[in-house]
Chain A
Amino acid sequence: MQKVGIVEVAMTPGTESSLSLMEFTYKPVKEVLDKAGLRRDQVGTYVLASTDIMHSGMSCANAFDWDAAGAFMKPASREEGDGITAFIYGCMRIMSGRHDTALVVGLIKGSENAENDTITSCFADPFYSRPLGIQETTAAAMQMRLYLERYGITEEQCAKVVVKNLGNALFNPYAHIKKRVSVEDVLKSERICDPLKAMECAPKSDGVCAMLLASEEKARKLTNNPVWLKGWGSSMDTFYLGDRDLLDTQLKTAAVGAYKMAGISDPRKEIDVAEICEPYAFQELLWCEELGFCAQGQGGKLIDSGVTQIAGDLPVNPSGGVLATNPYVSRGLYRVAEAALQIRGEAGQHQLDKKVNTALACAGYGFAGQWHGVAILGN
């Protein structure tokens, strides 16, 4: 397999921006090109990630995205699932040998959108699930109750994820919500969708992430510090919640695929840091189980042990994760960018105090984690 390297990344903070979506998108793309010393027309191909319903409801990707990303008059395509699939698509364009560089951009301004729950309602079929109020929060709340009941995970253990991630976010200049909170603060926050509490749910954030990818030869010319794609896996589950076991998601399948490709046999030992997609606090615990960081049902004990803390053996979401910053659609690309910065030693104040050789980035969307994608990066 041809090696693909991450050459440069740029991100906007998740906080609300007064720029128009077009201006907001332009800045990090320009930043990446300037860092790499490339003009826009020197980039081989562009892959954008945005979704029309979340595109500030404007549904005008053609008007805004291509010009802002400098992607016109180039082979350019757009995907609308999660930004991490734009990343893998960009990698594949390079692996094909057809292009030696690809610029990947995920973009959204959550601050311009209706609430996430209103929008994710539209992901449900219109005859059965949608009229019954199924959206990402209600689906997650039902998944959480199963998780608490089947494995005896406690609400305190779930709340610890919020304490950790919002605390980590204090050191991340790109984070949206950052604060020192206690388990008690989380447990006392509004019980919006029992068992889910308000502080256990991700915000809606603004966020553009731009990433320049290159073939091995080109990457070595463009940077002294390339980060390589080592493995990838993804899997989509069937739609209806009633047809699935909500505690047995396709993340397992996605992870197995990624580990196999990267030659990882003991993820808990071989992965140095993980940036994962936890729009709801308990999901970080469940996803850690499914990623093989601990045994099934042991996600609560994992957070109790401190292993996933920023100074722990296997830090999870040192950036603050999605609970701190939730630019829907770009959020998966943010995970890849954060993982890459950790490997390069360029994460800034939330840089881990250890050598990072191998990092995992995963993303998901859909009700109760219907889809998952897992990327393994290495130095």
Chain B
Amino acid sequence: MVEAVKSPEFPVKEYKTGNKDTVLPYNWALGPTWTKFFNGLKEEKILGTRCKKCNRVLVPARTFCPSCYKDMEDEEWVEVAQEGTVETWCLVNYKYYGQPKEPPYIIAQICLDRADCSVTHFIGGFDLSDPDKVREKMKSVSRIKAVWSKEKHADIYDIAYFEPV
């Protein structure tokens, strides 16, 4: 899991301020559909659900189809491909408090084969230090595939990132 980062420092103010970090513990239920989805990741499977009305396969799996607004619970679970194409991406090259990992990293929307929506994940596996070179590299990338983490916790980081095929 991600390490907590140091609290940000505010610039020194010329007026009196009170400083305080607020840390609040929460405990969120994932619900049965996402429990099954994340357990799937632990087994190196990317699962979606097919809506029988619009016939779309949505990933991550959904309890209901947001467009048709109907249950998907009894519907078909589909294992989608671990490969696909890049719809769009950005290269995060700056720091902010609470970010998920040390920059630079690429966040992308990825169209996996057999899915009817794109999924968000990291792209990596090559040098990200020069934004111009990264642009050039990304232009040449046609297919990417999932790289699995060695240690898995049934969470989204079970996929470490996607890398060019």
Contact = CB atoms under 8 A, between A and B. Distances in A.
Contact of A192 (B34, B38, B93): B93
A126 B28 contact: yes
Contact of B90 (A57, A114, A195): A195
A126 B2 CA distance: 13
A351 to B, nearest CB: 33
Interface stretch (A33-41, A237-245, A250-258, A330-338): A237-245
Interface residues of B, number: 47
Contacts of A192: 92-94
B155 to A, nearest CB: 7
Interface residues of A, number: 40
Nearest to B99: A133
Nearest to B38: A127
Nearest to B110: A242
A235 interface: no
B134 A194 contact: yes
B80 to A, nearest CB: 12
Interface string A118-149: 10010000111111111000100111111001
B88 A145 contact: yes
A246 interface: yes
A248 to B, nearest CB: 14
Contacts of A59: 22
Contact of A142 (B2, B17, B108): B108
Interface in B115-129: 117-122
27 contacts: A114-B8, A115-B96, A118-B98, A126-B28, A127-B30, A127-B38, A127-B156, A128-B120, A129-B120, A131-B2, A131-B155, A132-B100, A132-B120, A133-B92, A134-B107, A142-B90, A142-B109, A146-B88, A191-B93, A191-B131, A193-B90, A196-B90, A238-B66, A240-B120, A242-B118, A242-B120, A243-B66
A127 B155 contact: yes
Contacts of B99: 117-118, 121, 133
Contacts of B34: 127-128
Contacts of B98: 114, 118, 121
Contacts of B77: none
